[in-house]
Amino acid sequence: MKSKYLVLFALFTINLFQATSCMKVATLSSDGTVRIWDVQTGKELQVIRDEGLLSFACPVAWSPNGKIAAIDRLGAIVVFDAKTGKKLKVLEGHEEWGRSVAWSSDGKKIASGASDKTVRIWDAKTGDELKVLRGHMEEVNSVAWSSDGKKVASAGSVDHTVRIWDLETGRDRVLGGDMYFVSAVAWISRKKVVSGSWDRAVRIWDLETGGCNVSEKYKRSIRAIACSPDGRKIVIGFFEGAVMICDAKTGQNLQVLEGHNGNINSIAWSPDGKKVASGASDETVKIWDVKTGRCESILKGHTEQVYSVAFCPIKEIDKDKQERLAFLGRRQSIFKTMVLSKDSTKENNGGL
């Protein structure tokens, strides 16, 4: 009898958590704002304003512990509290415009790339600059951490290379060849990375064998790329409004998501892999259902191009919803106790 009660209680607890959990996405625009949105409702939860973000293609990234990092037009990394919007730290070191920023999976370090041709590694807690990685011949357009935090991948747009940096030794491995203007790079697994470029092709690099699988040439140049949490799919953002989901092994087109009226500047997967967010030059962010390909919501509020989107790595509890459901929860628990008591009386002839 106790096991039956525990099962019912567990089911109720799970349903209550699902009803009160909140998936969030952060967006950054050249209107000088970072905006936080509730993905399910489309509600704008927070607006963070900073003059350093005005009129520039700044990137944004969300840490596992509730902080948001953005690079301003002078190359400084600004760290904000996602809940309050308070500026917590400014990490200075880059000598030119910032192009990309990423948190390590444990939230302890930040990687950044800029027009000064460097990749820099930072201590997120102290703000100290830990490493300056030099090797790119031109601006660094994209940076991404490996899941174990031991390596960083970077894309050098004009030098046409992808570099894999070993953070213990500081040495880099150069991946290149016939690429033109590499715009984005992402990790598929610890042994594979994917890159997109303006030559309209996706390349999947096997770091163990040295092999490279090149996709067919698409109709448009690639602006952004991201890999699903399970490593099975990639999503590509193109110039002129196209979003495409492809197989991570072959690069084969699986689905086309249509609706934007401008260049796709940024793309991101939700932590559960069920949704994709795209930010574009049409000043909107769209949330897509990966299974159906349907646009679930359009986030409007920015007054300039949306240059970056990032999901909160974990679902947070919506306290307002939790409080509204608290009374309902008590009533359901009492009702289940009564039902179980009746069942127990029948099964045990009046006693426990």
Domains with residue ranges and CATH for the chain = 24-314 (2.130.10.10)
Contact 278, 270 (CB under 8 A): no
Q: What is the pLDDT averaged over residues 180-186? A: 90
- Quick check: 75 pLDDT over 90? no
- Quick check: 44 pLDDT over 60? yes
> What's the whole-number average pLDDT of the chain?
82
Q: Which range has the worst mean pLDDT, 143-157, 311-325, 330-344? A: 330-344
Q: What is the pLDDT averaged over residues 267-293? A: 96
- Quick check: 352 pLDDT over 60? no
Residue with the bigger pLDDT between 349 and 150: it is 150
Q: How confident is the model at residue 65 (pLDDT cuts 50, 70, 90)?
A: confident
The partner residues of 27 in beta bridges, in order of sequence, read: 35, 309
Contact 243, 231 (CB under 8 A): no
DSSP string, 120-150: EEEETTT--EEEEEE--SS-EEEEEE-TTSS
Residue with the bigger pLDDT between 165 and 30: it is 165
Residue with the bigger pLDDT between 247 and 344: it is 247
Q: State how far Cα 215 lies from the chain centre.
A: 24
The partner residues of 308 in beta bridges, in order of sequence, read: 28
Q: Which range has the worst mean pLDDT, 11-15, 205-209, 221-225? A: 11-15
Give the model's pLDDT for residue 57.
Answer: 65
Residue with the bigger pLDDT between 123 and 75: it is 123
Report which secondary-structure segment, H or E, holds 241: none
- Quick check: 333 pLDDT over 70? no
Whole-number Cα distances in Å, 145 to 79, 111, 119, 342: 18, 8, 12, 56
Give the model's pLDDT for residue 219.
Answer: 85
Q: What is the pLDDT averaged over residues 199-220? A: 87
Instruction: Give the Cα separation of 216 and 236 in Å (integer).
Output: 14
79: buried, middle or exposed (CB in 10 Å: 19+, 13-18, 0-12)?
Answer: buried
Sheet holding 222-227: strands in order across? Answer: 222-227, 233-238, 243-247, 253-257
Q: What is the pLDDT averaged over residues 157-185? A: 87
Q: Which residues are within 8 A (CB) of 273 and not within 5 positions of it... i.e. 6 or more apart?
A: 228, 229, 230, 233, 290
Give the model's pLDDT for residue 30.
Answer: 87
Q: Which range has the worst mean pLDDT, 70-74, 144-148, 184-188, 201-205? A: 70-74
Q: What is the pLDDT averaged over residues 134-140? A: 91
Q: Which range has the worst mean pLDDT, 57-71, 176-190, 314-328, 336-350? A: 336-350
Instruction: Give the Cα separation of 34 and 184 in Å (integer).
Output: 21
